[in-house]
Amino acid sequence: MAALSVFDKALEPVYHQEREVKYGLVDWLTTVDHKKIGVLYGVAGLFYLLVGGLEALLFRIQIAKPDQNIFVGDTFNGLVTMHATTMVFMAVMPLIAAFSNYFVPLMIGARDVAFPRMNAFSWWTFCFGSILLNSSLIFAEFPAAGWTGYAPLTTKAMSPSAGIDFWWAGLTMLAISSMVAGVNFVVTILNMRAPGMTLMRVPVLVWMMMVIQFLLAFSFPPVAVGLILLSFDRTFGTVFYEYTMGGDPHLWQHLFWVFGHPEVYVLILPSMGIVSEILPVFARRPLFGQHAVIFSGIFIGFVGFGVWGHHMFTAGMGPIADAVFASTTAIIAIPTGVKIFNWLGTLWGAKMTYPTPMIFALSFIPLFTIGGLSGIMHANAPLDLQQHDSYFVVAHFHYVLVGGALMGLFAGFYFYMPKVTGKLMNEALGKVHFWLFAIGLNLTFWPMHDLGNRGMPRRIYTYPADAGWNFDNLLATSGVFLMAAGTLVFVYNILTSLKNGKAAGRDPWDACTLEWLADSPPKAHNFDFTPIVFSERPLWDHKHTADMAIPVPAAAEEIHMPSYSWKPMWVSGGIVLILVGLLLLHTIPFSWLISVAGGLSIIGSLYAWVTEPV
């Protein structure tokens, strides 16, 4: 039995670093530290979560009652479009990036990611891209063609507003950011693990993160192509989506959903990983069938590339394609069910404790299962023809994304924040947050099943009083207020805990994986020495098995830490210049010179990048 206090005695490593660390704002602008980049992603994700929530609140007020005239027409459409675009790309994905940035290196016992400057480049590209996308509100108006951006609805003839141009430009940057991050993290997880951490000893959360990095790297290129074709149609007069020139509306749908469905797993798998980390800790037993959980996650990742057609059953692909996509979609239910039964097996007969992360993680299971079950209904092509574009679909994916992905991320926040801030979050406020949010989300999304079955279509901004949808819509809108209140309590809890929270210490939950070996908050170099891993649960075995204690070296380790760098931000800025030049092409003469300047500045920045000592 070795206590964790032995780690306090480890010697500080000897640093080799090219440049002194900067402090204050410059540090945050030039950092290549995965933890600081994780915090940046987290702050941005929470900010956009509030923005996207506000957008939802506004359009839910419009349809709370029939025949209202608050946000109508393209204002309503713009709010709906930006709500979904914001939540998917700028709230949930950066929150996932926050967890993967902060915790993947810690959980695999590494000092940083494989390519720290590339990681900073991903962050700045995301940051600038999200600003570019939202700046449509200032310079034009919100894009109003739905987050799926179906061409030819997004062509110049159908959507003359520049909002769509900001949309493709911003999304292109987010796509670049995600692809680069995907490559970076695949390499990090495969190559940077601590000695002894074989692939089957990698924690489930890290495994799920690896699966989604593959999905990011391989599923974003098709939608990037779709966006490039759209940008060429709108900017250079190509005819990819022009039906008068023979363009086929299926093209965009295929390119979008080849990306769009793997994207769904990008959003949900990390939360499944977080839940798989939290349940064993508070049930005081190992995850039931850990390898089955890992392999089912990998299987979901593979099959996720072969199911996109179930978004297109009404698009007229023909009976053979429909049958194939219906079958592959139904198959996804198997690995998902494996995971659910493994979580239940973990909890079966366990003596559990119920702090806030645990109740969020526990609520994930039934809430996600509700969304999963309505998902299996959509695998049935004939049934899907009836449900397509109705509120039933809205209910389905909100149970998966809010009840599933977001509840999992909240669980992760309460579980991991003590590591990030060194302070425990307030339990009472956490439970207030949970009950407000859990009741609110069910109040909002459960009636939507009923609305869908009563024939209410998605994305309509008003409806007549005698349609029979009044009560359900009022319930749904009132639930949004509860969720908003819960989220505000959550943000308040984070802010007050920073100041008043109880000190967390290394290992506040008596957990089992490597991140709890580091200090809270961790030092810049994460670990004073390279931990050696002997099992799937290195810290637990350290605490409880005498011959598996993690050895603390007697001598100080010599390490090389990467230095701060401005270059990642310069390269991202060059991409912004290229896109701005294209956006202004038909507005300001010679604006293509801005694009040329952007291209040249990227070449210059890259030269500086490869020659600067790190």
Partner 1 sequence: MSAQLAATDPHEVADAAGHDHGDHGHHAVVENNFMGLPNIKLAMWAFLGSECMFFGSLIGTYFFYHGKALAGPLPQDVFSIGITSISTFLLLMSSLTMALAVDAMKQRNPATARNFLVITALLGATFVGFQVYEFSHFVHLGLKLSTSLFGSTFYVMTGFHGGHVTVGVIWLSMLALLIHKGKLNPAKLPINVEVAGLYWHFVDIVWIVIFTFVYLLEFIQ
Using rule CB under 8 A, residue 433 touches partner 1: no
Report, in Å, the least distance between residue 460 CB and partner 1: 32
Using rule CB under 8 A, residue 217 touches partner 1: yes
CA distance 192 to 111: 9
Report, in Å, the least distance between residue 194 CB and partner 1: 8
Using rule CB under 8 A, residue 210 touches partner 1: no
Cβ nearer to partner 1, comparing 58 with 228: 228
Q: Which region among 282-290, 460-468, 530-538, 585-593 touches partner 1 (by CB under 8 A)? A: 530-538
Using rule CB under 8 A, residue 607 touches partner 1: yes
DSSP per residue, 178-217 = HHHHHHHHHHHHHH-PPTT--GGGS-HHHHHHHHHHHHHH
- Asked if 242 and 155 count as a contact pair (C-beta separation under 8 A), the reply is yes
In the chain, how many H helices and how many E strands?
20, 2
Residues 231-290 that bind partner 1 (CB under 8 A): 232, 236-240, 245-248, 251, 254-255, 258
Token couple for 54: 């506000």
Cβ nearer to partner 1, comparing 29 with 190: 190
Site size toward partner 1, by CB under 8 A = 73
Using rule CB under 8 A, residue 558 touches partner 1: yes
CB atoms within 10 A of CB 453: 14
Cβ nearer to partner 1, comparing 56 with 216: 216
Residue type, 327: S
- Asked if 34 and 102 count as a contact pair (C-beta separation under 8 A), the reply is yes
Using rule CB under 8 A, residue 190 touches partner 1: yes
- Asked if 361 and 344 count as a contact pair (C-beta separation under 8 A), the reply is no
DSSP state, residue 66: T
Using rule CB under 8 A, residue 150 touches partner 1: no
Q: Which of 551, 590, 593, 596 binds partner 1 (CB under 8 A)?
A: 551
DSSP state, residue 454: T
Could you tell me the sign of the dihedral formed by the alpha carbons of 540, 542, 543, 547, in that order?
positive
14 beta partners:
558
Cβ nearer to partner 1, comparing 141 with 557: 557
Q: Which region among 23-31, 69-77, 404-412, 526-534 touches partner 1 (by CB under 8 A)? A: 526-534
Cβ nearer to partner 1, comparing 165 with 384: 165
Residues 560-579 that bind partner 1 (CB under 8 A): 560-562
Which of 415, 429, 421, 433 is CA-nearest to residue 508? 415
Q: Which of 117, 193, 310, 506 binds partner 1 (CB under 8 A)?
A: 193
Report, in Å, the least distance between residue 191 CB and partner 1: 5
Token couple for 396: 């389905």
Using rule CB under 8 A, residue 600 touches partner 1: no
Q: Which region among 64-72, 156-164, 221-229, 366-374 touches partner 1 (by CB under 8 A)? A: 221-229
Cβ nearer to partner 1, comparing 245 with 428: 245
Q: Which region among 45-53, 197-205, 283-291, 351-359 touches partner 1 (by CB under 8 A)? A: 197-205
User: Residue 366: is it exposed, middle or buried by C-beta count within 10 angstroms (0-12/13-18/19+)?
Assistant: exposed
Using rule CB under 8 A, residue 218 touches partner 1: yes
Q: Which region among 41-49, 113-121, 296-304, 447-455 touches partner 1 (by CB under 8 A)? A: 113-121
Using rule CB under 8 A, residue 23 touches partner 1: no
CA distance 387 to 451: 11
Cα pseudo-dihedral 49, 54, 57, 59, rounded to 10? -110
Report, in Å, the least distance between residue 533 CB and partner 1: 8
CB atoms within 10 A of CB 73: 10
Point out the residues that are catalytic. Answer: 83, 112, 147, 177-178, 261, 263, 265, 276, 310-311, 336, 339, 458
CA distance 150 to 127: 25
Report, in Å, the least distance between residue 302 CB and partner 1: 14
Report, in Å, the least distance between residue 540 CB and partner 1: 13
Buried b (16+ CB within 10 A) or exposed e, 133-145: bbebeeeeebbbb
Using rule CB under 8 A, residue 373 touches partner 1: no
Using rule CB under 8 A, residue 318 touches partner 1: no
CA distance 220 to 78: 24
Cβ nearer to partner 1, comparing 143 with 182: 182
Cβ nearer to partner 1, comparing 48 with 534: 534
CA distance 349 to 596: 65
Using rule CB under 8 A, residue 603 touches partner 1: yes
Using rule CB under 8 A, residue 199 touches partner 1: yes
Using rule CB under 8 A, residue 505 touches partner 1: no
Angle between helices 319-347 and 290-303 (to 10 degrees): 160
Please name the residues in contact with 122: beta carbons below 8 A apart, sequence gap of 6 or more: 97, 177, 178, 180, 181, 184
Q: Which of 112, 277, 472, 515 binds partner 1 (CB under 8 A)?
A: 112
Cβ nearer to partner 1, comparing 116 with 452: 116
Report, in Å, the least distance between residue 308 CB and partner 1: 13
CA distance 589 to 220: 33
Token couple for 325: 């996509």
Q: Which of 186, 209, 583, 585 binds partner 1 (CB under 8 A)?
A: 186
Q: Which of 62, 136, 219, 329 binds partner 1 (CB under 8 A)?
A: 219
- Cis amide bond preceding 152, omega within 30: yes
Q: Which of 229, 281, 326, 482 binds partner 1 (CB under 8 A)?
A: 229
CA distance 257 to 239: 21
Cβ nearer to partner 1, comparing 289 with 604: 604
